[in-house]
Amino acid sequence: MWHAPLDLTRPLPDGVEITTDRARYADAGVVVFHIPEWKWQPLFIFPKKLPRQVWVAWSMECEENYPRLKDPKFMRAFDATMTYRLDSDVPVPYFPYYSSVDELLAAFCAPPRAKTASAPAVSFISSRINRSGRREYARELMRYLQTDSYGNFLNNARVQNDRGRPSKIETLRHYKFTLAFENALARDYVTEKFFDPLVAGSVPIYLGAPNVETFAPGAHCYILTLRTKCKNGCKVGS
């Protein structure tokens, strides 16, 4: 991603350097393009591809939110893909907070804490992106299931001394269930919304990828919603 700070937790091989300095473009053997930043710009604004350069299309965002990822004409400009999809040349699943598989498994296997929250369920929905119909579903579900909502949507609770993700994980630990609703429905698009509750010892009530079972660490560890149509024609959980 252009101009983003680099967080290199592991040493690079000899002779390998990673930079976000665009002035070094002519020196690059591999150029990574963060596709969500290109939005709807026409193809002609691409820089000239230099001999022996490899162009990589990178995105952790859902293709339903950024249709360019599904546009064959656009994607032909790249030599490789690096996305959340398992069929990418370089799959990048949503495990950004763990340096190894063993560390992730250890987080999953940590014993859950006693559930002390008065409400059985918790929600952290803030983004207005809603291609999954998650807002409609959450609004309806909260009519029947007491839910503490810490996000901007239907907010009725607040995290004290908010430190970002650590505070979120600590909050989830106190609830039996978490509304784990993705902002879009697409194969392989399984984000931290699914994994964070599992790490915290809370059962995800999941709305999202149709193949989420591929990413689950075990059987019977989540509750899967079903897709249906609401009155205005949008597809939501049921």
Kindly report, residue by residue over 52-87, the tens digit of the pLDDT.
Answer: 999 999 999 999 999 999 999 999 999 999 999 999
**Does residue 161 surpass a pLDDT of 80?**
yes
Q: Is 56 within 8 Å of 80 (Cβ atoms)?
A: yes
Chain mean pLDDT for the chain:
88
Q: Which helix (H) or strand (E) holds 177?
A: strand 177-181
Question: What is the model's pLDDT at position 227?
Answer: 57
Q: How far apart are CA 19 and CA 70, in angstroms?
A: 28
Backbone angles phi, psi at 141, to 5 degrees: -60, -40
CB-based contacts of 35-39 (< 8 A; 24+ apart in sequence)? 35/59, 35/61, 35/66, 35/68, 35/69, 36/61, 36/65, 36/66, 37/1, 37/2, 38/68, 39/66, 39/68
Measured CA distances, 148 to 152, 158, 179, 195 (Å): 12, 9, 10, 19
Q: How far is CA 20 from the centre of its chain?
A: 23
Which of 105-109, 136-140, 200-204, 212-216 is predicted with the least confidence, judged by mean pLDDT? Answer: 105-109
Question: What is the model's pLDDT at position 20?
Answer: 83
pLDDT tens, residue by residue, 5-59: 666 666 788 988 888 888 999 999 999 999 988 766 665 567 889 999 999 999 9
Q: What angle do CA 185, 189, 191 make, to 5 degrees?
A: 115
Question: What is the model's pLDDT at position 178?
Answer: 98
Which residues does residue 235 pair with via DSSP β-bridges, in sequence order?
A: 229
**Does residue 94 surpass a pLDDT of 70?**
yes
